[in-house]
Amino acid sequence: MLKLFREVLKVGTATLPYPFEPIEQMPGFRGKPHHDPEKCIACAACATACPPNALNITTDLDQGVQTWSLFMGRCIYCGRCEEVCPTGAIMLSPDFELAVMNKQDLFERADYRLATCRLCGNYFAPVKEIEYVSALLRQSNIPEDELNNTLSMLEVCPACKRKNDVPKTVNLFQEEGSDVH
């Protein structure tokens, strides 16, 4: 009996004091995805990668708003969003205390403005995404005239690009004298 008590005293308390004291998480623990709305460019890479559709991107072409939303109740903490995010806006934090009494508190939302096409005036892509891409192009070492050409095409929507490209391609073929059909 005394031997047992000695053993118990030697081992001490195994139970963690949580929730009365904070608990330490292991490095690499995947908790709540932390979204930095300032860094986000609303490119929808995370929404495409998200296996359970916890991350959603909805585009309102009438109002010109791209909405990023995260539903924590569906997240499986796989870290795919962190893997694909080009700007590091989403990082999995060690935060695990996510229980709520009200389901609405599980939602996070961010609204981003869409840019209008230079030619047709329709909304087509987030302003921040276009700004980010143009900053990347400026940083890369492509020749001046090529850079200006590419930058001017950044503000054109895909539909207008197609419309412009078809006559150009036809002209190119005709100049070469080959058969377009």
Partner 1 sequence: MFIDKPTSQLVAEKSKYAIQLDEQAAQLKGQLLKDIQRSIYVYRIDCGGCNGCEIEIFAALTPLFDVERFGIKVVSSPRHADVLVYTGSMTRSMRVPAMRAYHAAPDPKICVAYGACGCSGGIFHDLYCVWGGADKFIPIDVYIPGCPPTPAATVYGFAMALGMLGQKMKTTHHIQGDDERALLPHPKVPLALRVDVDREARRMAGYLYGNQIAEKFMEIFESDPKHVEQNVQSYLDGQNDPRLTEIMDRLVQIHLNQGEK
In this structure, what token pair is assigned to residue 70?
């995260």
Residue type at 161?
K
- Judging by beta carbons within 10 Å of its beta carbon (0-12, 13-18, 19+), is residue 39 exposed, middle or buried? middle
Nearer to partner 1 by Cβ, of 52 and 174: the residue is 52
What is the token pair recorded at 15?
Answer: 């139970």
Note whether 69 binds partner 1 by CB under 8 A.
yes
> How far apart are the C-alpha atoms of 101 and 88, rounded to whole Å?
31
Among 6, 8, 52, 146, binds partner 1 (CB under 8 A): 52
Instruction: Report the nearest approach of partner 1 to the CB of residue 169 (Å).
Output: 30
Q: Which among 46, 30, 54 is positioned nearest to 80, based on CA atoms?
A: 46
Cβ atoms of residues 47 and 85 within 8 Å: no
Three-state DSSP at 127 gives: helix
Q: What x-and-dash track marks residues 86-115 binding partner 1 by CB under 8 A?
A: -xxx------xxxxxx-xxxxxxxxxxx--
By the rule CB under 8 A, 124 interacts with partner 1: no
18 binds partner 1 per the rule CB under 8 A: yes
How far, in Å, CA of 131 to CA of 41, rounded?
9
Least CB distance to partner 1 at residue 152 (A)? 20
Query: How many chain residues touch partner 1 (CB under 8 A)?
Result: 61
Judged by CB under 8 A, does residue 61 bind partner 1? no
Decide if 150 contacts 137 (C-beta within 8 A): yes
- Residue 174 beta carbon to partner 1: minimum distance, rounded to whole angstroms: 37
User: Is 122 within 8 Å of 161 (Cβ atoms)?
Assistant: no
In the bound complex, what is the minimum distance in angstroms from residue 15's beta carbon to partner 1? 5
| Chain positions contacting partner 1, by CB under 8 A | 14-16, 18-19, 23, 28, 37-41, 44, 47-48, 51-53, 56-58, 69, 71-77, 79, 82-83, 87-89, 96-101, 103-113, 127-128, 131-132, 135-136, 139-141
